Amino acid sequence: MYRLGVLLSGRGSNFESILKAIESGYIKNGKIVVVLSNKANARGLEKAKEAHIDALFVNPEGLSRDEYDRKLVEILRSYNVDYVILAGYMRILSDCFIDSFEGKILNIHPALLPSFKGLHAQRQALEAGVRFAGATVHFVTKELDSGPIIIQSVVPVFDNDTEDSLSDRILKSEHKIYPLAVKLLCEDRISLKGNRVLIDGDFLDEGFFAINPVGGGRDGV
């Protein structure tokens, strides 16, 4: 059973989608053992507590990035965490954190990487006028939003989309691909060949999907 530590800063809907997938048995070999946040009032911390998961606010005040991240590593190690799941964690991780969990950190980004890295990815997509947007689950490396890609979802962009409507559509797809990526990880089905992630076995019928805007409904995520 792999022990998962979650880092989040906000509402925690991705954390919740992974938790539900564990509770339902979709993710079989993983367990969330601790949730950490840099924000005292993160809704995700409350959700974790409601689910009786240890949930801690780790105060960044007065600490350098390295000091703070060393503290996080210490806590995660004390829980014997195997994998770190970033779920809306709004701080850039220091190199020392990434070295401590090398190849063991996952993130979800609301864009089809390598396009639209960084903040406001959905707004960037709208401004660029792309017809398709989406989300990416990837391994975290020292370069921001650049690690090997595990799974991506694709959603259409409509002419009347706003940042909110596009974000909502992408988020619904995030809630499918993040649990799927964690499931594959916990089943030891993910390996790396250079920068490419290889997935063992057939996974296309396990919730992976893409939207065809011609054949599908507008909200059919």
Which residues of this chain interact with ligand GRF, rule CB under 6 A?
A: 8, 10-14, 44, 87-88, 108-110, 135, 171, 174
Cβ closer to ligand GRF: 121 or 190? 121
Task: Give me the least distance between CB of 13 and ligand GRF, in Å please.
Answer: 3
Nearer to ligand GRF, 132 or 200 (CB): 132
Please, what is the minimum distance in Å from the beta carbon of residue 7 to ligand GRF? 11
Task: Note whether 149 and 135 are within 8 A (CB).
Answer: no
Task: Please say if 109 is a catalytic residue.
Answer: yes
Q: How far is the CB of 53 from ligand GRF (least distance, A)?
A: 15
d(CA 89, CA 45): 12
Sign of the dihedral through C-alpha 199, 76, 94, 14: positive
- Contact present, 168 and 220 (Cβ < 8 Å): no
Tell me the one-letter amino acid at 37: S
3-class SS at 190? strand
Q: In this structure, are strands 190-193 and 196-199 parallel, antiparallel, or unpaired?
A: antiparallel
Residue, CB closest to ligand GRF: 88
Q: How far apart are CA 55 and CA 33, in angstroms?
A: 9
> 101 or 116, CB closer to ligand GRF?
116
Residue 178 or 209 with smaller CB distance to ligand GRF: 178
- Residue 205 CB, nearest approach to ligand GRF (Å): 24
Give whole-number Cα distances, 181 to 98, 156, 200, in Å.
Answer: 19, 22, 12
Active site residues: 109
